[in-house]
Structure 1
């Protein structure tokens, strides 16, 4: 048995992404100085929960934490996937924090993944489960992932601070590899779709948000349709809340998304600020999410800013063929993703600004990641 060589990393930035790449590439890592400068140093509850989730979908993973919680050792095991799994995501971060890792890892598992996630479905920190269902899953088609067996079902809503939401995620395994993509034409917006959610509040809240959004978009485009999803009782979780997710569909099939959520009491429980922020009205929510979506459309690109990191990861995991994509201004998360891809996969992107459209074109040759764990019949 040879001596294990660990990649040594520092800091807590993008720890989630590093764990995903370490698992996919079977790279053992040691991470030090995790939140070491914070008032309460060490791993956060949602980060520990992510490790527990990795243990459920892998076999023989080794995870060790230092006594202070500021250091960890992670030696990935084999990606198994599995059916009828259940994971409580806790209340520190929403379910959206866990969905992106699960989708990426699920594609390269030994068996298709079927998992029930419990916690907060919509909050202001992470993309909502609606955005994943309407936008993120459809991105995978561009990389050869079949939509059969790919599903995200929202069984109950959960707003902060008490959550109570529940979703069911199904991810199929890819037969061998992803497919390289040439995706640079974002097209023109032809329709706006969306959904409002409201839990343990008046059903009229949803109608007020829809009215506010239509007041913005009807000046630009006639095809605007927004569904309302009002939940009460067990399906409405344990806390009152409301919000909206919007998607702009273009003539070339690109989906540009934006979402926002507000809660009646969750904002008051923010420990980082002494002043209690004002609760946003349904009209404020509608106008704000419409403005965010217009900003995403204006900056151009085939995906919105929240999906840049996932887009780059999928390109880097493709076979050794050229993938070419267009995005708007690079976000800090997208830039850090490019660095992590370089460190773990050895893939470097060629970045070329397009001054005529104020967008950025990125090209790379994929790493040739294969699903070696899949069951061969």
Structure 2
């Protein structure tokens, strides 16, 4: 067996994209100097988890990480897919961090992919599973991905810091993608959304919906926001609440905004057991609905700070799909 030639890269920037392109192009990569000068050098837990996930869905994939985690070699294998796979994403990042590269790799695998992912379903760092289900999956259909076999089922919710959520992702295989020219974002014609709450009162969801409708009802009539209150084992391990909104335009684009309110993780600056004041549900509904109807290109940092009444530890995730 011949010596493997690695393409050498530096730093931790765009790590998911590097691994995704490396896998699709069958190009081995060696990444060095990963946060070498940081107080905590090396790969983060979610990045190691992503590498293990790639090993799980691939055949003959080889990952070698040095002792400090500042350097690793990745030799991609053949993406096999498969049924009844399970992966624990941990609590360092949400499941949305793993879904984005996973759905692309699943399309080009040898067999249809069906995998259960465990961890945090909703937080303010990554796109929540509701946004992924209501915006990303419909967008794939525009590129020729069949609806049959393409599904994301939310079986339980998990909020930071301890997670406990589970989702089941199913991805069909395709032969090729259809090229799409999409330059007009269009006008918003309908808004759909869902609120969630775990281990808190369901009244939080009604408050968020009331605040969001206070903005939307002045603009268009076709607005439906559903509730998803979880209890028992389906509520995960931590209290939390949040909202995901998707505005569909006349040209088929999706403008999304979502967030989750929960107690901070220890690595986010929070202290274990520290009493924290959570953002009121009314402010959550108001701010996220304002983000949803304002195109991202117009929502500058200065404008965001002026409109955002939240504290510095709370963020909303905004996306713009299709343009």
> Residues 38 and 277 from structure 1, CA distance in 2 versus in 1: closer, same or farther, beyond 3 angstroms?
farther
Aligned residue number for residue 245 of structure 1: 244
What is the Cα deviation at residue 279 of structure 1?
Answer: 1.4
Residue aligning to 1:143: 143
Residue 273 of structure 1: CA displacement?
6.4
Alignment of 1:336-347 (within 5 A): none
Partner of 1:26: 26
**CA deviation profile, 1:235-291 (whole Å, cap 9, x unmatched):** 11111000000010112222211101101xx22745436898741110011011012
Equivalent residues of 1:267, 1:279 under 8 A apart: no
2:255–2:320 CA contact under 8 A, matched in 1: no
Query: 1-side partners of 2:215 and 2:8: how far apart?
Result: 49
Tell me whether 1:178 sits opposite 2:177 in the alignment: yes
Gaps of 5+ in 2: 300-316
Contact 1:267 1:276 (C-alpha < 8 Å) held by counterparts:
no
Q: Which residue of 2 aligns with 1:5?
A: 5
Asked if 2 retains the 8 angstrom alpha-carbon contact of 1:64 and 1:72, the reply is yes
| In 2, Cα distance between equivalents of 1:294 and 1:234 | 35
Q: Any idea what the Cα deviations from partners look like across 1:313-350, whole Å, max 9, x if unmatched?
A: xxxxxxxxxxxxxx4xxxxxxxxxxxxxxxxxxxxxxx
Where does residue 92 of structure 1 map in the other structure? Answer: 92
State how 1:307-326 maps to structure 2 within 5 Å: none
Quote how far apart the aligned CAs of 1:123 are: 0.4
Counterparts of 2:189 and 2:249, CA distance in 1: 5
Structure 1 residue 220, shift from structure 2 partner: 1.3
Q: Separation in 1 of the partners of 2:52 and 2:297?
A: 40
- Once the two structures are TM-superposed, the CA of residue 67 in structure 1 deviates from its matched residue by 1.6
Q: For the residues of structure 2 that align with 1:72 and 1:268, how far apart are their CA atoms?
A: 27
Distance 2:268 2:296 in 1: 34
C-alpha distance in 2 between matches for 1:137 and 1:215:
29
Contact 1:46 1:89 (C-alpha < 8 Å) held by counterparts: yes
Cα drift, residue 15 of structure 1: 0.7
Q: 1:305 to 1:200 in 2, by over 3 A?
A: closer
1:233 is aligned to 232
Secondary structure, counterpart of 2:213 in structure 1: helix
Change (3 A) 1:7 1:298: closer
CA distance in 1, matches of 2:233, 2:295: 35
Measure the CA separation in 1 of the matches of 2:270 and 2:228: 31
| 2:278 corresponds to 1:279 | yes
Bigger Cα displacement from structure 2, 105-114 vs 251-260 = 251-260
- The CA deviation string for residues 31-87 of structure 1, in whole angstroms up to 9 with x for no partner, is 001121221111111111111100110000111011211000001001100100000
Corresponding residue of 1:215:
214
Q: Distance in 2 between matches of 1:212 and 1:305?
A: 18
Q: CA deviation at 1:293?
A: 1.1
Distance 1:191 1:117, change over 3 A: same
Over aligned residues, Cα RMSD in angstroms? 2.0
Alpha-carbon separation, structure 1, partners of 2:201 and 2:145 = 40
Give the CA deviation at 1:155: 0.4
**Aligned length, in residue pairs:** 304
Are the structure 2 counterparts of residues 271 and 146 from structure 1 closer, same or farther at C-alpha, using a change threshold of 3 Å?
closer
